[in-house]
Amino acid sequence: MIELALAVPALILLLSLFAGVIYMSYIQIAASVIVFAAVIDGVLFVKPDKIFLGGYFFIDSLNAVVLFTVSLLELFIAFYSFGYIRTEIKHGLSKRKFKYYFFWKNLFILSMMVSILANNLGIFWVGIEGTTLATALLVSFNRTKEAYEATWKYVLMCSAGIAIGLFAIVILYFTTSDFYGQSIKALSFLNIIKVGGKLDKNFVLLAFILALTGFGTKVGFAPMHNWLPDAHSQAPSPISAMLSGVLLNTALLGILRFYQIALSAGIYSAKYFFIGFGFLTIAISALSIFKQKDYKRLFAYSSMENMGLITLGFGIGGIAVMGSLLQILFHALNKGAIFLSSGNVLAVTHERKIDKIKNLSKMMPVTSFMLLLAVIGITGTPPFAIFLSELLIIIGMFSFNVIFGFIVLFFLILMFAGLLSKTLLLRGNSNDGEKDGSPIIGFIEGKSLHPFLLYVPALLIAISVIFLFYLPEPFLLLVKSAVREL
C-alpha cells in the first residue's frame, strides 16, 4: 500500500485548511504513523521494484532507502511539532502564526514523496521545485528581515538551479525520443535505463553535468551553497531538521538517477564529477565552520559536509556506496536530533548567537547534554551509527587513493574540531558564577518545555546508538540490493 505515502499527505493538506492547529497536531501524528506503516509495509517486507499509478511512479531499492529515511524522520517530526507548537504558544506566539504551518509542511512532504517515487523525470522536476515553493513560506516563518532575505535567496537560487535541471531533462528527452517517440514514455526513468547503451554519449554527458550543477544547487554543493546555511537556520526547528535531514537527499536522488543513466550509457567518467563536487563541498564547509557565530548555521554547514561525504562515497564506488546509503539514514536521524535539541534552546532563549548563550549545561541540562551527544554523533565518533557509515566511506576512500584519503580525513577532523569546540562554547561554564546566560527567570526545563520536546531528540539519539550494533535485517538487504544498482 505504498500509494498511501502519496495519498495521506495530500488528504491532510486539504484537511489542514479547515481544522485548527491544535487538532491538526493530533491528526498529523496519526497521518505520519499511517505513512510510516505504509512505507514499512511497501518497502521492507515486500520485494520492491514495482510500478504503480499508471507508470508515473515506481519504487526500487534506491528510492526505497530514501523513502524509508523520510518517513522515519517525519514520524519523529510529527511528535516534535506536537510539542513545539504548544511550547511556542505558551511562550507567547500567537496561534494565528501557525495557521498554515501544517498546510505548508504537508505540501512539502507530498512534493518530496512525489519526487522520490517519480518514475518520470518531468514529474520528479515538478516535485523538487514544489519542495522549494512549499518550504519558502516556512523559511520566512519568523517574518524578520533576515528570514525574508534568506527566503529570497533560497527561492531564487534554487529555482534558477532547478531550471538548469530542466534543461538537462530537455536534452535527455531529445536523445531518448529517438527510441520512444515524442511522448511521456521517453521521460520514464525505467525506459531510459533500458535503452541506455544506445543513447548518444555526448548528450547524456551534457545532461548529466547540467543535472549535477542544477539539482546540485538544491543539494548544497560547494560553489552553489550560499543559500543553504541561511535558509536552514531561519526555518522553524522541525522544518530545519526536515530540510537538512531529508530534502537534501531527495535532490541527491535525482542526481543519482542521472548518474545511473550515465552509467548505463557507458560514461564511467561521471564518477569523477561526484568526487570533485563532494571533495569541494567537504573542504569549503570545513573551512567555513570556524567563523560561524550562529549555532543553527553551524549545523547547516555540517549538513553540507555530510552531503559532500555521501556524494564522494557514491563517486568512489565499491564499499563506499554502501557507506553512503547508510549515511543517508544515519545522518537524517542524527541531524534531526541536533536540530530538534538546538530548537529547544531557540524556543526558550530566542537567541541564535553562540556567544550570547552561556551556562546552557546548568540552565537546560537535559537539552544541552542531548545536543552534545548528537554533535559527537554527527562527527562520526563510535557509540553512534554514523561511525559505521563514515568508516565504510573512509575505507573506500583509502583504497581509492591514499593521499586523497588523508586530505579528506584532515577536513573531517577540522569539521569535528570546529563543531565540538563551538558546541562546548554553547554549554560554556563561566566561572564568575554570574547567571547572565539565564534564559528566562523562573525557568525550569521540564516544566517550561512540552515533554515531547525532550523525548523526541532523546529517542533519535537512542536509535542512532542502536543502529550501530543492530541494523534490521530487511533494511540491510534493501541497502545491499541498492548497492548493486549503482
For binding to another protein (CB under 8 A), which residues are involved?
A: 120, 122-123, 125-126, 129-130, 132-133, 136-137, 140, 143-145, 148-149, 151-153, 155-156, 159-160, 163, 166-167, 169-171, 173-174, 177, 182-184, 186-187, 200, 202, 206, 226
Residue 172 C-beta: closest distance to another protein, Å = 10
- The DSSP 8-state label assigned to residue 55 in this structure reads T
Residue 110 C-beta: closest distance to another protein, Å = 14
Find cell 543539494 and name the residue. Answer: 219
Answer yes or no: are the C-beta atoms of 106 and 9 closer than 8 Å: yes
Burial (CB < 10 A; 0-12, 13-18, 19+), residue 20, is exposed
Cα(432)–Cα(208) distance, integer angstroms: 58
C-alpha dihedral sign at 50, 51, 53, 58: positive
- Residue 72, classed as helix, strand or coil, is helix
Q: Grid coordinates in use for 334?
A: 542524527
What's phi and psi for 120, nearest 5 deg? Answer: -90, 130
Q: Indicate the residue among 174 and 400 with the shorter CB distance to another protein.
A: 174
The count of other CB atoms within 10 Å of the CB of residue 11 is 16
Residue 221 C-beta: closest distance to another protein, Å = 18
Radius of gyration for the alpha carbons in the chain, expressed in angstroms and rounded: 22
Q: Indicate the residue among 166 and 190 with the shorter CB distance to another protein.
A: 166
Q: Indicate the residue among 122 and 474 with the shorter CB distance to another protein.
A: 122
Q: Indicate the residue among 110 and 360 with the shorter CB distance to another protein.
A: 110
Cα(444)–Cα(439) distance, integer angstroms: 10
Q: Indicate the residue among 63 and 140 with the shorter CB distance to another protein.
A: 140
- The DSSP 8-state label assigned to residue 58 in this structure reads E
Answer yes or no: are the C-beta atoms of 314 and 259 closer than 8 Å: yes
Residue 207 C-beta: closest distance to another protein, Å = 11
User: E strands along 417-479, which residues?
Assistant: none
Q: Indicate the residue among 159 and 438 with the shorter CB distance to another protein.
A: 159
Cα(323)–Cα(313) distance, integer angstroms: 7
Q: Indicate the residue among 71 and 250 with the shorter CB distance to another protein.
A: 250
Answer yes or no: are the C-beta atoms of 265 and 170 closer than 8 Å: no
Q: Grid coordinates in use for 116?
A: 522520490
Q: Indicate the residue among 94 and 183 with the shorter CB distance to another protein.
A: 183
Residue 117 C-beta: closest distance to another protein, Å = 15
Q: Give the DSSP letter string of 352-378.
A: -BTTT---HHHHSHHHHHHHHHHHHHH
Q: Indicate the residue among 146 and 445 with the shorter CB distance to another protein.
A: 146
Residue 91 C-beta: closest distance to another protein, Å = 22
Residue 184 C-beta: closest distance to another protein, Å = 4
Q: Indicate the residue among 145 and 447 with the shorter CB distance to another protein.
A: 145
Residue ranges in 187-294 assigned as alpha helix (H): 189-194, 201-219, 227-234, 237-242, 248-264, 270-288
402-427 vs 295-316: helix crossing angle, rounded to 10: 160
Residue 262 C-beta: closest distance to another protein, Å = 18
Q: Indicate the residue among 152 and 387 with the shorter CB distance to another protein.
A: 152
Residue 153 C-beta: closest distance to another protein, Å = 8
Residue 130 C-beta: closest distance to another protein, Å = 6
Q: Give the DSSP letter string of 151-168.
A: HHHHHHHHHHHHHHHHHH
Cα(135)–Cα(137) distance, integer angstroms: 6
Residue 304 C-beta: closest distance to another protein, Å = 16
